[in-house]
Amino acid sequence: MARIGFYSGSFDPVTFGHTDVIARAAELVDRLVIGVGVHASKNPLFAAAERVEMLRMETVIIADKSGTEIEIVTFDNLAVDAARAEGATVIFRGLRDGTDFDYEMQMAGMNGAMAPDIQTVFVAASPQVRHIAANLVRQIARMGGNVGAFVSPEIEVFLKERCKAL
């Protein structure tokens, strides 16, 4: 039976922090589903289809290197329900610091109560990407700053073009 994992987020935009978690999660499962959250209460910089396309670009090499099938989907319900719909038995969550840990522990407890058959696995961010947060990357890009240390050159182009249009 294939081991299926689920990693969710807004990925607005996808950063080196996200790809760090994706690469390490891909080593642990046969199929990794990346869920792009689409929620009415959020006002993302990029449309869902653009975020999916950016993730596809960023994960091709990871899939090839790991030999893991990576699929990208959108969802507008609870992440645990989206994970269940994909047949996942593991939800991956990235941790940057203690604040993330406290929040993610609460979320893992709630998800565990709703879906005891799905385990949460925490992936600690690598030291070189631990400081990266997509909301800060967006802010830097909007103010004309250099985001090259936080995103790939391809994503940097997307950000520059989008922020020019704002």
pLDDT-based confidence at residue 55 (cuts at 50, 70, 90): very high
Q: What residue type is assigned to position 60 of the chain?
A: V
pLDDT at 164: 84
Longest Cα–Cα distance of the chain, Å, equals 48
Contact 2, 45 (CB under 8 A): no
Taking the C-alpha atoms of residue 141 and residue 12, their distance in angstroms, rounded to an integer, is: 12
- Could you tell me the CATH number of the domain that includes residue 55? 3.40.50.620
On whether residue 158 sits in a domain, the answer given is no
In total, how many domains does the chain have?
Answer: 1
- What is the number of residues in the chain? 166
Residue 132 pLDDT more than 90?
yes
On whether residue 73 sits in a domain, the answer given is yes
On whether residue 147 sits in a domain, the answer given is no
On whether residue 142 sits in a domain, the answer given is no
On whether residue 48 sits in a domain, the answer given is yes
Per-residue pLDDT averaged across 79-103, rounded? Answer: 96
Residue 165 pLDDT more than 90?
no
Q: What residue type is assigned to position 166 of the chain?
A: L
On whether residue 81 sits in a domain, the answer given is yes
Domain that holds residue 84: 4-126
